[in-house]
Amino acid sequence: MNKVIIFTDGGARGNPGPAAIGVLVGEKQFGKYIGETTNNVAEYSAAIFALEKTMELYKNYNELSVLINTDSELMYKQNIGEYRVKDPGLRVLYAELQDLVKKFGKVEFKHVRREYNKLADKIVNQELDRKMG
């Protein structure tokens, strides 16, 4: 089974505030401004965006083993079943993410410290800087 390593990050300046996402799918980098929202919504949006990009990049995505690296402890623990998803807004994003997860051969989530997620974080900040001037 082919393996794809993903790094995701989402951030808002202010909470809520202007927000963006940054992802790496293998060696490819993607960023996007997502409007006014919270950090947690941005983190989920980044993971969803990353899996959607993976589906665009790999025709055989249903046979892929995917590792999603995130520095969001909340998103990580919710997706491994350690925390319940209580926030109604995050429940919708959690369900969307889980629907995408089912389309792949295997998806694992890994919590990484921020210093190991610097490139995804840099993409987030570049998107915010571009949008906000």
* pLDDT mean across residues, the chain: 97
CA atoms of 133 and 117, how far apart (whole Å): 24
pLDDT of residue 1: 80
Give the mean model confidence (pLDDT) for residues 101-106: 98
Is 90 exceeded by the pLDDT of residue 100? yes
Domain 3-132 belongs in CATH node 3.30.420.10: yes
Give the mean model confidence (pLDDT) for residues 109-128: 98
Give the pLDDT band of residue 71 (cuts 50, 70, 90).
Answer: very high
Asked whether 47 and 96 are in contact (CB, 8 A), the reply is no
CA atoms of 46 and 60, how far apart (whole Å): 21
Q: CA separation (Å) from 89 to 1, 11, 75?
A: 34, 16, 13
Give the mean model confidence (pLDDT) for residues 5-18: 97
Sign of CA dihedral 49, 62, 77, 5: negative
pLDDT of residue 16: 97
- The torsion angles phi and psi of 127, rounded to 5 degrees, stand at -65, -45
Q: What is the model's pTM?
A: 0.97
What single letter denotes the amino acid at residue 32?
Answer: K
Q: Is 67 left (phi over 0), alpha (psi -120 to 50) or beta?
A: beta
Each domain of the chain, given as residue ranges in start order, spans: 3-132
**Interaxial angle between packed helices 39-57 and 88-101, expressed in degrees from 0 to 180 and rounded to the nearest 10:** 20
